[in-house]
């Protein structure tokens, strides 16, 4: 059992948990992930390490409440424990040697983009952050990003926060302005990462994406998380989750992501009813 | 008391669920002997002085001795004989391929059927579980610490043997439950998980510490275990869990599973139970590619999940199927359709990226290859499409690279298997032993247990001679 030492809602649908897991905290690096099981009969859910404190022995995860599994995780309160917490898994991001970088975060993907931006800032890179949300109510980690970014572009779909538009609009503007990036790092919904890659390919800028396929074990024993990268089959949990975005087959990944859509919709509905009953 | 010998040339049959009932539930297929049946079967043993059966048992159980106790109706006495050699008798009695091991060497098998050694082992272990609440004694500690990587059959066996010798044993397991293939691979209908748990609880009662959620190679390395945690020896029993795919077009379509993923969802995550929080596809027509025991398990699970048609697609013939004969028979009885001499060449998908068919070719068998098996050759112009919505790849697994890539100086071969010295399981690193599928590649539960036994003995000798 792993104790929740802090629980903070970041917006109505995104929650931050700080979990006591000293061994994981000791080894975790940006880009890696953990697998969590809220309760004894819960599903295994992969979540990226959003932060860690080696001294305090804690690991921070940030998740969006999108379905039954995350809803269940969100029922746990500060002081309670998650049943299982495994990690750190996957390969750490390769951030050394980058001098100038654009970090693009979309929605809850910003929770993963932030530690990357922070680490790059610590390594002395010039960091341009481009973060996008659907609207101002969903904004997370604004101050944190500002603190580690040399420049920051804020985008929202409806213009209620920062500028109206997509992250690709802001990225293209920065590129056209004459910014020469060693690398673009994009983390967010698949469709966002796909279009960032399409754009950077035109400009010939190396682009790394953090993939988020369906996972079970997260240790390489099932291949449920497989992706096609440069024509080869890769397991995101052991070969990734970071990949060269220009080589990823995004359309296939988007299809695979919908494998359990019906089940998930049904489970979410059941979970909602269940929680409603508990409240009543 | 002289015991009346039973000279029936045939084994006492084991009661089992009707095939058309059991292919709709996950309850155990084989129901086990009653005490009367067990005693009757035990009396078929001739008590050969040379005990050929014992030489066929990878963990060297004194088979005639335990059977003699059953014949005398001293079931607890029989259990004591079994547990002196085996840490998991209720498991082995169910899943060992006895026909090629103990029962393959039984003298009664020459003219008739061998003694049902596996069934008797199972009966004794089950009887003990139901009748005895005696917890295993905690041996006196000898002051030495050993770490075991992996809580599968090999690691559990080594842990049991070392604990009996007084070692403080810690098992590190990557998943949230101990048992390895016994919990995520072999389905409930062949091996009820409550039985596995009970045998694991027995190990815990003996003082074995099991740390789950620990991926060695990530959270801790073997070097850290030895240098920072004070383990004098490490036994690597991490198995061969990395699934192979065929590399044919369409393998990433929705509805294509590795057998490991399909079985893990069903067995470990209980996706077969209504209300399970882990999803699984509810398929109508399923093709399982491969012919081993894992393929049979996956096919029989798919049938139980409600699929109308389930095919085993195998590139060689019925005679060459690597699965146990009994498993193949069970699968056939349950309505699994065998498409042998058939090989998939492409998975077909619809516009949603879902599997909607499988392009196959027919095969014929040519000359024997280096392994002595006749090589399958594609029949010209034999292409046809099999109408399926799910495909489960069960063409083998290899060891996970996680441990070899994080343990400097650990020698592995070109298949990724850890290289060991003879039967001892000693690796190229001092104090580091390995066994089971991590060394042999995918093999059987009992061979993994045998390796665990050998390694435990070698580790004990190594630590005592230090």
A43 touches chain B (CB under 8 A): yes
Cis peptide before B179 (omega within 30 of 0): no
CA distance B238 to B400: 8
SS3 content of chain B, % helix, strand, coil (to 5): 35, 20, 45
CA distance A202 to A195: 11
Q: What is the pLDDT of residues B4-60, one digit of tens each?
A: 889 999 999 999 999 999 999 999 999 999 999 999 999 999 999 999 999 999 889
Q: Which residues 198-237 of A are in CB contact (within 8 Å) with B?
A: 216-217, 219-224, 226-228, 233
Residues of chain B with C-beta less than 8 angstroms from the C-beta of A43: 269, 277-278
A55 burial via Cβ count (<10 Å: 0-12, 13-18, 19+): exposed
pLDDT of residue A276: 63
Decide if pLDDT at A207 tops 80: yes
- Reference B59, options B21, B88, B25, B23; nearest CA is B88
User: What values do phi and psi take at B201, rounded to 5?
Assistant: -60, -35
Decide if pLDDT at A99 tops 80: yes
> Which residues face B424 on adjacent strands?
none
Contact B316, B295 (CB under 8 A): no
Contact B314, B342 (CB under 8 A): yes
Show the CA angle centred on residue B73, arms to residues B72 and B74, nearest 5°.
90
| Interface probe with A: pick from B181, B213, B249, most Cβ of A within 10 Å | B213
The predicted model gives B64-68 an average pLDDT of 96
Task: Kindly indicate the confidence band of residue A277, based on its pLDDT and cuts at 50, 70 and 90.
Answer: low
Of residues B218, B261, B277, nearest to A41 (C-beta): B277
Burial B42-70 (b: 16+ CB within 10 A, else e): bbbbeeeeebebbebbbbebbbbbbbbbb
Most confident of A236-240, B34-38, B369-373: B34-38
* Other beta carbons less than 10 A from residue B1's beta carbon: 4
Closest residue, chain B, to A229 (C-alpha) = B252
Residues of chain A with C-beta less than 8 angstroms from the C-beta of B245: 223, 226, 233
Task: Measure A249 CA to nearest chain B CA, in Å.
Answer: 11
pLDDT of residue B2: 61
Radius of gyration of chain B, Cα coordinates, nearest whole angstrom: 23
Decide if pLDDT at B377 tops 60: yes
Residues in Cβ contact with B341 at an 8 Å cutoff, skipping those fewer than 6 apart: B314, B315, B316, B317, B362, B363, B364, B365, B376
A68 touches chain B (CB under 8 A): yes
Q: What is the pLDDT of residues A49-76, one digit of tens each?
A: 999 999 999 999 999 998 888 999 999 9
* Yes or no, beta carbons of B260 and A42 under 8 Å apart: no
> Which residues face B397 on adjacent strands?
B243
Cis peptide before A241 (omega within 30 of 0): yes
CA distance B300 to B5: 38
The predicted model gives A82-93 an average pLDDT of 95
A126 touches chain B (CB under 8 A): no
Contact B113, B9 (CB under 8 A): yes
CA distance B267 to B183: 6
pLDDT of residue A278: 55
User: What values do phi and psi take at A229, rounded to 5?
Assistant: -125, 115
Of residues B242, B257, B265, nearest to A221 (C-beta): B242
Decide if pLDDT at A280 tops 70: no
The predicted model gives A178-201 an average pLDDT of 96
Task: Measure A25 CA to nearest chain B CA, in Å.
Answer: 9
* Other beta carbons less than 10 A from residue A278's beta carbon: 8
Residues of chain B with C-beta less than 8 angstroms from the C-beta of A252: 252, 353
pLDDT of residue B126: 95
Out of A239-248, B272-281, B301-310, least confident range: B272-281
Element (H, E) at A20: strand A14-20
The predicted model gives A252-260 an average pLDDT of 89
Closest residue, chain A, to B262 (C-alpha) = A222
State how far Cα B170 lies from the chain centre: 22
- Reference B183, options A214, A23, A83, A221; nearest CA is A221
Residues in Cβ contact with B80 at an 8 Å cutoff, skipping those fewer than 6 apart: none
pLDDT of residue B422: 78
The predicted model gives A25-35 an average pLDDT of 94
Task: Measure B386 CA to nearest chain A CA, in Å.
Answer: 22
CA dihedral B133, B134, B135, B137 (to 10 degrees): 180
Burial B432-464 (b: 16+ CB within 10 A, else e): bbbbbbbbbbbebbbbbbbbbbbbbbbbbebbe
CA distance B279 to B254: 13
CA distance B269 to B131: 30
DSSP state of B412: B
pLDDT of residue B167: 97
B282 burial via Cβ count (<10 Å: 0-12, 13-18, 19+): middle
Q: How many CA atoms lie within 13 A of B19 on its CB side?
A: 11
State how far Cα A2 lies from the chain centre: 21
Q: What is the pLDDT of residues B202-246, one digit of tens each?
A: 899 999 999 999 999 999 999 999 999 999 999 999 999 999 999
* Yes or no, beta carbons of A259 and B254 under 8 Å apart: yes
Residues of chain A with C-beta less than 8 angstroms from the C-beta of B405: none
pLDDT of residue A270: 75
Element (H, E) at B79: helix B75-85
List the helix and strand counts (H, then E) for chain B. Answer: 17, 16
- Reference A153, options A181, A183, A133; nearest CA is A133
A267 touches chain B (CB under 8 A): yes
Burial A186-197 (b: 16+ CB within 10 A, else e): bbbbbebbbbbb
pLDDT of residue A142: 94
Beta strand ranges found along B350-425 (DSSP E): 355-368, 374-378, 384-386, 390-393, 397-398
> Which residues face A67 on adjacent strands?
none
pLDDT of residue A19: 98
Residues of chain A with C-beta less than 8 angstroms from the C-beta of B175: 217
* Yes or no, beta carbons of A44 and B353 under 8 Å apart: no
Decide if pLDDT at A155 tops 90: yes
- What integer best gives the mean pLDDT of chain B? 93
| Interface probe with B: pick from A20, A27, A220, most Cβ of B within 10 Å | A220
- Reference B186, options B300, B351, B55; nearest CA is B300
- Reference B191, options B103, B300, B315; nearest CA is B300
Residues of chain A with C-beta less than 8 angstroms from the C-beta of B392: none
Task: Kindly indicate the confidence band of residue A275, based on its pLDDT and cuts at 50, 70 and 90.
Answer: low
Closest residue, chain B, to A38 (C-alpha) = B277
- Reference B282, options B262, B268, B296, B267; nearest CA is B262
pLDDT over 90 for what percent of chain B?
84
């Amino acid at each position: 059992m792993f104790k929740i030492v802090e629980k903070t809602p970041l917006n109505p649908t995104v929650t931050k948990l700080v979990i006591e897991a000293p061994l994981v905290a000791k080894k975790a690096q940006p880009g890696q992930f953990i697998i969590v099981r809220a309760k004894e009969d819960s599903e295994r859910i992969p979540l990226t390490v959003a932060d860690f404190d080696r001294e305090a022995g804690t690991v921070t995860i940030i998740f969006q409440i999108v379905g039954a599994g995350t809803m269940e995780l969100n029922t746990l309160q500060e002081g309670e424990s998650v049943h299982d917490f495994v990690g750190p898994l996957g390969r750490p991001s390769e951030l050394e040697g980058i001098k100038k970088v654009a970090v693009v975060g979309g929605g809850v993907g910003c929770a993963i983009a932030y530690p990357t931006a922070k680490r790059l800032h610590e390594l002395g890179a010039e960091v341009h952050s481009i973060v996008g949300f659907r609207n101002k109510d969903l904004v997370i980690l604004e101050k944190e990003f500002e603190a580690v970014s040399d420049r920051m572009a804020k985008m929202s779909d409806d213009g209620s926060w920062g500028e109206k538009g997509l992250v690709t609009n802001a990225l293209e503007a920065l590129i056209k302005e004459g910014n020469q990036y060693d690398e673009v790092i994009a983390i967010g919904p698949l469709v966002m990462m796909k279009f960032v890659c399409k754009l950077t390919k035109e400009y010939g800028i190396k682009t790394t994406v953090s993939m988020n396929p369906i996972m079970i074990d997260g240790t390489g024993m099932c291949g449920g998380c497989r992706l096609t990268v440069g024509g080869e089959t890769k397991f995101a949990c052991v070969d990734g989750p970071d990949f060269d975005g220009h080589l990823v087959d995004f359309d296939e990944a988007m299809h695979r992501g919908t494998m359990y859509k019906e089940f998930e919709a049904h489970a979410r509905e059941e979970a909602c009813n269940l929680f409603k009953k508990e409240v009543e | 008391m002289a015991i009346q010998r039973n000279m029936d040339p045939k084994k006492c049959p084991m009661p089992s669920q009707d095939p058309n009932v059991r292919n709709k539930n996950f309850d155990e297929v084989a129901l086990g002997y009653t005490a009367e049946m067990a005693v009757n079967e035990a009396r078929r043993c001739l008590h050969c002085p040379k005990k050929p059966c014992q030489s066929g048992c990878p963990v060297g159980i004194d088979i005639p001795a335990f059977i003699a106790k059953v014949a005398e109706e001293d079931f607890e006495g029989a259990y004591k004989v079994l547990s002196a050699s085996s840490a998991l008798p209720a498991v082995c009695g169910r899943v060992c391929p006895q026909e090629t091991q103990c029962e393959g060497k039984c003298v009664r098998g020459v003219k008739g059927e061998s003694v049902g050694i596996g069934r008797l082992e199972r009966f004794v272990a089950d009887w003990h579980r139901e009748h005895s609440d005696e917890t295993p004694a905690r041996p006196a500690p000898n002051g030495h610490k050993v770490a075991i990587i992996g809580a599968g059959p090999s690691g559990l066996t080594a842990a049991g043997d070392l604990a009996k010798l007084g070692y403080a044993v810690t098992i590190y397991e990557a998943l949230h439950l101990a048992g390895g293939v016994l919990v995520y691979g072999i389905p409930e209908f062949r091996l009820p998980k409550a039985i596995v748990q009970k045998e694991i609880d027995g190990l815990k009662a003996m003082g074995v510490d099991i740390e789950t959620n620990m991926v060695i190679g990530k959270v801790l390395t073997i070097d850290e275990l030895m240098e920072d945690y004070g383990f004098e020896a490490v036994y690597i029993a991490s198995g061969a869990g990395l699934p192979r795919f065929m590399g044919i077009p369409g393998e990433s379509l929705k509805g294509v599973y590795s057998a490991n993923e399909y079985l893990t969802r069903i067995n470990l995550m209980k996706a077969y139970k209504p209300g399970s929080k882990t999803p699984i596809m509810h398929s109508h027509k399923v093709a399982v590619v491969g012919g081993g025991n894992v393929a049979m398990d996956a096919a029989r699970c798919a049938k139980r999940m409600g699929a109308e048609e389930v095919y085993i697609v195998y590139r060689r013939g019925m005679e060459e199927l690597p699965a146990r004969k009994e498993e193949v028979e069970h699968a056939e009885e349950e309505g699994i359709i065998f498409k042998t001499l058939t090989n998939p060449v492409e998975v077909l998908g619809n516009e949603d990226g879902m599997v909607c068919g499988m392009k196959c070719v027919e095969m014929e068998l040519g000359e024997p290859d280096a392994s002595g098996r006749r090589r399958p050759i594609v029949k010209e112009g034999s292409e046809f499409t099999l109408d399926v919505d799910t495909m489960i790849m069960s063409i083998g697994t290899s060891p996970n690279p996680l441990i070899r890539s994080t343990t400097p100086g650990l020698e592995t071969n070109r298949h990724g298997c850890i290289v060991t010295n003879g039967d001892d399981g000693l690796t190229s690193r001092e104090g580091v032993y390995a066994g089971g599928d991590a060394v042999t590649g995918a093999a059987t539960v009992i061979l993994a247990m045998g390796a665990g036994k050998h390694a435990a003995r070698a580790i004990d000798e190594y630590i005592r001679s230090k």
